[in-house]
Structure formats: C-alpha cells, structure tokens
Chain A
C-alpha cells in the first residue's frame, strides 16, 4: 500500500485526492495548468480535471486571491498557488483585509474555505524575492490560519486537511524540500489533526522548536548533539496560527530549555511569540531564557551568501550550548 514519495509528490497526490473527493475544489494560479506549476506541484492535474478546475490565471496575485474570494463565496473551495513567497505581497491586502475578515464581518454567513499555497524559504540559489519567509505577517492576522509542512507524508495529509477546513488557510511549503527527501506514504493511515504540533524526536536537555525547512536542520543538529552526549527534543510545530502549545509546554517543562529555529527574521517573528508564551506558561521550569536562531534582520541576501543568512546546524548547536551554559 505504501509508496516512496517526495514532498512535491505528496502535495500533488494530496491535491489530486482532494479534487477527486470534492468537485468544488478548484486550483488557480500562474502556470498551474499545462506546466504543472514552476515546481510541478500541480503536475498532470489540469489534464485530468480540466481547465475549469485547474485554472491558469493572469499574472496578478491580488487578482488570483481576490477572484478566489468570489469563488469561495459562490460555494467553491479554491486552492490558489502563489508562485514564490516574495510575490505574495501584491495579494497582501486581499489576504489580510478580505480573506481574513469575511467570516467575521458577515457574522459567519460568508465562510471562505480557501487555501493559499506559498512555496517559502530559501536555500535554492534564487534571485531576490524568491526565498522569503513571510509567515509572521499572516500569523499576526486573525481570521486566517497558517500551517507549514516539513515532510512528504505531512504534505499529503495536511494539504487535504487544509482544503477541507472551513477556514481560510495559508499553507506554507518549504520549497527546498520539494524534491529533496523521500518518505513512505501509507494512504490508508489516519492522519493527525491539522492544527497540532508533533514531537519528532525525543530528548531531555533542550527543546528545539522548528517548522517547515528548519525541521530538517533541527534533526541534523540533534544527531550531531547526540554524539556530544546532548539530548535534543525536536518539535515540528506544523501549525503557526493557531499555535499548538500543549506539546511545546510539556516538553519545555521537562527539558527546562528551549531554542526556536526559523528562517524568518528574528525580530517580532514566530520565535518571539513562542518565547513569550513559554515564559508566561512555564517561567519556573526554565533553566535558561528561550533563545532564537533565525534569519538576520536584513533583507534576504544574494544567493552566494544565503547559507550564512540561513540558520544552520552550527548556529543552532551554538544556541544549544548557550542555553546549556546558563
């Protein structure tokens, strides 16, 4: 029953399954049709579901999201693809002013079950605007939910769950993982609920919080730390808004230490929120302040030096050392 798949394949299979299960599900975006998207996530779907359900759109991000709002109001479940993270900003107004508020301002009469897929993060050697991590901008906005997948199996399940959700979901896909690693997908398994975090490696010394592309970084760091006799617990947050704090707080109460790792800028990022909540909830259990490892507070740099910008295994281990030294 199981097959070896990449994240790209997991998302593709998940989209296909969602479209088979519900004929109200539509895909929209630039190049999602014949080309199958620039990352091939929608590969073959237009051929099988037709141009009315896999819609190649004009090159206008606000137009893509804004017309998807209208389709959702008409009873469809549109899934829009923003081609790259840095291109979501032209649609920012539609997402934060319209998508996020429609249910609220209509007193629940106009739900907007739509998904905004954004390939996010760096490490692919791209030119500017192709490597950004805008998650905090959306997680700061009530009315939309924000999730990030980190692996092929989650990609398969989470995209289906996001489409099935009656709330609008910003769905972040770590683009450098699209074609990187394979995993075994069991399509008969029962997935965990969408808005839950997951402990992906148990440990006793430091809790490392990661999501999307940094989950892999955290897992590498945990392996390296183990050779030094340090035991890291790694949590894949998966959901950024709402945050699922229960596994996080349980873990920090046991380890007494937490390090948050994300590619986005540290200032006012997800790490800041996590640090605040952990401090509020388990102040007396902490052996060290919650530390953050992330992208610097600069624009995303040119690709020849992006590896210096991105949090890597060494910077993460350095933070673990600092936490242990308190």
Chain B
C-alpha cells in the first residue's frame, strides 16, 4: 500500500491538500532530515544542530556502535542455538540508539521499549542482564533508579505515559528549569513507528503538552511494525504530527550517529530548561527481523534492504575516521578484539545463567505479601519437597 493509492484523485477537496502541505514522501527522509554525516562519510553542516565533535568523541561513538552490533549478532546466534527464547534485533539502528543514549546526562531518565539495547549500553547496564530477560530468567534484572533506565516495556507505547508522568514528577521535584546543569533533568521515552498508532502514545503527547513536561519522545521510525509498513501507520511524516499536539517535531537521520546525538542533546536541553516536550523522529531502517521469530522476506523487497545497506550507520563513520586520519588500523584491530571478547563473554555468561528457583514465582507480587499468597507458596514448597532431588 502506498500513499498514492489511498488518496482520491479528483476529490473536490476539503481543507488543504495533504500532499501540498506535507509534500511527497521521500525514501531518503526528505528535505527536513537533519544530517551531519552523509552515508558516504562526508561531514556536512546544519545551521541549527551542528556541533564540534573531537576525534575522541567520534571514535567513542563508533566503538559503542561496533560493540552493540556485536551484542546483537551474538544474541541472535544465541537464540538460534536455543539459549534465548527470543531476541529483538537492533541491526541498523545502532546510530539512533547510541546517539540518543550518549546525549543523556546522568540525571536524565529513560523509558525504553524492548529493543533499546544500545541505550541500555550507554547507561552502563551489563548486556547479560538484557540476555537474561530474553532467556526467561527474569523480567529485567537492573535497578531502574540506579541506571536511570526503566525496565523494557513489551506492551507497545505504554511506557510513553510512564515517561510523561515521571517527567511531571521531575517538575514537582524542582529539577527542571533551575539553570543548574548538574541538577536539571529530563526524560526520554523510546518507541517505534508502530507505537505511534497507539492510544497511549497519543495520550502521552497530550499530557506532555498540557503540562509542559520535560520529556523527549524519541521515535525510531524503522519503517516496519513487524510486517506493517510505515504507510499503514501514518499518511504524513511522523515528526509533523507533533505540531498537532502543540510541540516541535524534528526528523533526524537515524543512521547518522552525530546527528541523532546533536538533535537529542538539543531536545533534552530544551526539556531540562523547562521548555517542554519535543518529538524526535529518527528516520532509520530495521535491517533485521522484528524479532527472531519473524521472516521479513515474506513482506519486503530485498531491493529496499540493499538500498538501506548503503546507509549503514557504522560504515559511514569508519570511512570518515579513515579518510580524515582520525583512526589507524591499530584502532580498528583493537576494537575488533574488544568485540570478540565481548562476544565470548556474552556466550559464556548466557549459558552459565542458572534458572531461578521455582519458588521465585511468588517473589515480589506485592510490597506487602498477602496471607493467601504466602499459603500458596508454602503449599507449593511442600509439594516440591515431596520429590527427591527437588531443584529448589
């Protein structure tokens, strides 16, 4: 389904013509796309969002992307070997996530969906904790307040409301707009193009706008909601929806780590200063499947995938670093070794994870446990003990 096929040519018209207002759809993200590094590795400048990156910073962002891609590759392989029940791949979205993740200040707080492995990496969460969730050991073993990174949310878009409420809490705590950069804080809500169709996301936009909450809505438009293309979610470029809710929206090249960093940083700063929400649409592509259970060859053309391969977020930074003499062979070799070490650690660590005790089923249902649940636990415990070699 394309935009053209659902419009009605010859319609006498009611209000402004959508194509005239929003322009035609563009495969490359369109003229408003913020970009600082082209797919060919050429540094370009932007009047509003340009930043001076030093070589260390760019090498650091490159390193993050390489390691996170390795995490993704290893996790996908572990799923194929039956070590993970499922894995949500991030292949192709490394720049969107590392750019957004590195733009955070320590006091900012992130509400992720289930694919934010790169952002989790930036927050210092051991990737083995992510694997534990997909292995089925737990629902997420990190402390959201310690890492300022919430637990993965599986229900599409539900976390955007939590993010907005949390941001409202920050307002009440007086950590917004004080002018103290060590104190002022903001929230990032991550979600995808499919989630933009959910009621909760639209309600989050309304609440955030109404209360001027310090929240950045960071949408990774990876073009696909499982098998449903972006055209099935929106007739207009997603970032333009923000205007209808009363706050700015901006589209950034999600495969350009410099641009996603710069734009997210600006949006976060705006939020911290008390100027309210921003919608950032990171225009990217899901190179892999939705999850390891998905088969994208059933619904999309390999031509599209090939075209997006030319916009690889990692390759363009490598070209830039090499061409400008900012990194030598030794750098890339050392990084390759680091990635191998990470891979080996993840493989071993994942396989070594013990299953939880069956009695963990009963843990933490309530802050104040009920007598009836305690009785169920005791009954199940006695039942387990009736077997020899109980794995309790």
- A-side interface residues toward B, CB under 8 Å? 26, 52, 57-58, 60, 62-63, 65-76, 78, 90, 93-94, 97-98, 101, 103-111, 113, 142-143, 145, 165-167, 195, 242-243, 245
Contact = CB atoms under 8 A, between A and B. Distances in A.
B139 A70 contact: no
B158 A242 contact: no
Given A60-B203, A76-B169, 8 more contacts: A52-B172, A70-B162, A71-B169, A74-B168, A93-B155, A105-B151, A242-B370, A242-B371
A75 B153 CA distance: 20
Interface in B337-372: 363-368, 370-372
A158 to B, nearest CB: 15
Given A52-B172, A145-B366, A166-B367, A66 B143 contact: no
Contacts of A106: 139-140, 143-144, 151, 364
Contact of A73 (B143, B144, B160, B373): B144
Contacts of B366: 103, 143, 145, 167
A103 B160 CA distance: 18
Contact of A57 (B143, B199, B207): B207
A103 B203 CA distance: 24
Interface in B359-390: 363-368, 370-373
Given A94-B161, A97-B155, A103 B365 contact: yes
A69 B203 CA distance: 14
Contacts of A26: 172
3 interchain residue pairs of minimum CB distance: A70-B165, A66-B161, A74-B169
A109 B158 contact: no
Contacts of A93: 155, 158, 200
B54 interface: no
Contacts of B171: 52
12 contacts: A52-B171, A63-B204, A66-B160, A67-B165, A70-B161, A70-B164, A73-B144, A73-B169, A74-B170, A93-B155, A110-B151, A165-B367
Nearest to B143: A109
B145 interface: yes
Contacts of B139: 101, 104-106
Contacts of A101: 139
B161 A108 contact: no
A62 B150 CA distance: 19
Contact of B165 (A52, A71, A145): A71
Nearest to A242: B370
A94 B200 contact: yes
B143 A67 contact: no
B58 interface: no
Contacts of B373: 142, 242
B167 interface: yes
Contacts of B166: 70-71, 73-74
Given A165-B368, A167-B366, A58 B165 contact: no
A131 B173 CA distance: 38
B108 to A, nearest CB: 13
B288 to A, nearest CB: 26
B163 interface: yes
B172 A60 contact: no
A167 B168 CA distance: 21
Interface string B33-52: 00000000000000000000
B141 A166 contact: no
B319 interface: no
B163 A70 contact: yes
B266 interface: no
B318 interface: no
B207 A111 contact: no
B138 interface: yes
Contacts of B372: 242-243, 245
Interface string B160-189: 111111111111110000000000000000
Contacts of B155: 93, 97-98
Nearest to B366: A167
B210 interface: yes
A137 to B, nearest CB: 17
B206 interface: yes
B364 A58 contact: no
Contacts of B206: 58, 60, 63
A103 B362 CA distance: 12
Q: Which of A69, A70, A72, A242 has the largest number of chain B CB atoms within 10 A? A: A70
Contacts of B138: 105, 107
A9 B145 CA distance: 38
Given A58-B206, A63-B161, A63-B204, A70 B371 contact: no
B165 A107 contact: no
B165 A73 contact: yes
B114 to A, nearest CB: 12
B376 to A, nearest CB: 10
A213 B218 CA distance: 46
A97 B210 CA distance: 25
Contact of A62 (B111, B144, B173, B200): B200
Contact of A63 (B143, B150, B200, B365): B200
A65 B204 CA distance: 11
Contacts of A97: 155, 158
B352 to A, nearest CB: 20
A66 B162 contact: yes
A66 B160 CA distance: 8
Contacts of B162: 66-67, 69-70, 73, 98
A50 B223 CA distance: 44
A324 to B, nearest CB: 31
